[in-house]
Amino acid sequence: MCYCMCMLDHRVQILLDDERYEKVAREARRRHISVAAVIRDALDRLPTDAEVRRNAIDVILAAEPMPLPDDPAELRRELDGARDRSHA
């Protein structure tokens, strides 16, 4: 995406270690653009919230069916236990 200074509203300062700076500077030289433009382009490629949700839905819909307990209370206990284990 092409940017005009009049389109940019926020100044951001970041600190990079040498390895990260050299990586982004090398890419800027290769593409003949500024380091800031490389960083803006990388940010533009991040998925939107809608894309993240859509991908999560696709993963859920593509999952193999699994057996469920007949008792909803038992399902609740299983889900609570799984959540508790993932937060431990």
Residue with tokens 């284990």: 85
Q: Is residue 1 part of a domain?
A: no
The average pLDDT across 1-6 equals 61
- pLDDT tens sequence across 11-44: 999 999 999 999 999 999 999 999 999 999 999 9
Count CB-CB contacts under 10 A for residue 54: 12
Q: Is residue 45 part of a domain?
A: yes
Q: Is residue 48 part of a domain?
A: yes
- pLDDT tens sequence across 40-62: 999 999 999 999 999 999 999 99
Q: Is residue 78 part of a domain?
A: yes
pTM of this prediction?
0.61
Q: Is residue 5 part of a domain?
A: no
Q: What is the pLDDT of residue 28?
A: 98
Please count the structural domains in the chain. Answer: 1
Tell me which long-range contacts 61-66 makes (C-beta under 8 A, separation of at least 24).
Answer: none
Question: Do residues 28 and 34 lie in contact, with contact meaning Cβ atoms separated by under 8 Å?
Answer: yes
Domain limits for position 22: 11-86
Tokens coding 11: 């100044």
Q: Is residue 52 part of a domain?
A: yes
pLDDT tier for residue 69 given thresholds of 50, 70 and 90:
confident
Going by C-alpha positions, the residue among 36, 20, 16, 18 that lies closest to residue 28 is 36
